[in-house]
Homo-oligomer: A and B are copies of this chain.
Amino acid sequence: MSSTQLSRKEQIDQVATSLFKSRGFAATTMRDLALELGIEAGSLYSHIKSKEDILQRVCFKMADEFNAAFDEVKNKDVPAGEKLRLAVAAHVRVLTKNPPAAGVFLNEWRHLSEPSLSKFHDMRFQYEESLREIVREGIASGEFKVTDEKFVVLTLLSSLNWLHMWYKPEGKMSPDDIAEFLSNLLLNGLKNF
């Protein structure tokens, strides 16, 4: 039993999100979605504008959450290594709070049409750029021995963004445990973990 009351529209978004994640946006039909909600397909349109309408809401809501979480880290005056830890923790927290939405955000955004698609691209680039800036700080101060910040951030995000594929809230690792593990692995490596 849920503690907060969801509007019908929010229910639709939520159920659609888990279908989009497990079957993909293109392979999910409005009739599937309606069936899952126990209503007819046509009835959905009393609440939503279109199928892509749902996708847009999910994608941009998640984007906002990532940005909000990162904004709290961005301007802290701590060493780069520590800042990276905080950024990883923030990212993991968003990712694990709603794994289906995270999955849609990460894998289904390409089904957005213009101009949403371009807007999404821009937001994503900005986010990645902020992470690169942290790594550049660490390189400049000598804290990080690596030289290619682009590659590092790509690798970092790759490991983070696979999380939603296997993370289960009932598992034995909490989001913070996961964040700590990933930070240690990235910063110290297998041999110095």
- Verify if A26 is at the interface (C-beta below 8 Å from B): yes
- For residue A146, which residues in chain B have a CB less than 8 angstroms away from its CB? 185, 190, 193
* Number of copies of this kind of chain in the complex: 2
- Chain B residues with CB under 8 Å of A45's CB are none
Q: Flag if B162 contacts A154 (CB, 8 Å).
A: yes
Contact of A111 among B27, B84, B138 (CB under 8 A): B27
Number of interface residues of A (CB under 8 A): 40
CB–CB A193/B158 < 8 A = no
Against B, the Cβ 8 Å flags (1 = close, 0 = not) of A155-180 are: 10111111100100000010000000
Majority-rule SS of A interface residues: helix
CA A107 to CA B146, docked complex, whole Å: 30
Kindly state whether residue A30 has any CB partner on chain B within 8 Å.
no
- In the bound assembly, the distance between CA atoms of A158 and B160 in angstroms comes to 8
- A190–B135 Cα distance when bound, in Å, is 9
CA distance A151 to B182 in the complex (A): 9
B187 touches A145 (CB 8 A): no
Complex contacts, A143 vs chain B, CB 8 Å? 191
Interface status of A188 (Cβ within 8 A of chain B): yes
Task: Identify the A interface with B (CB < 8 A).
Answer: 23-24, 26-27, 81, 84, 107, 110-111, 135, 138, 143-146, 148, 151-152, 154-155, 157-163, 166, 173, 181-182, 185-193
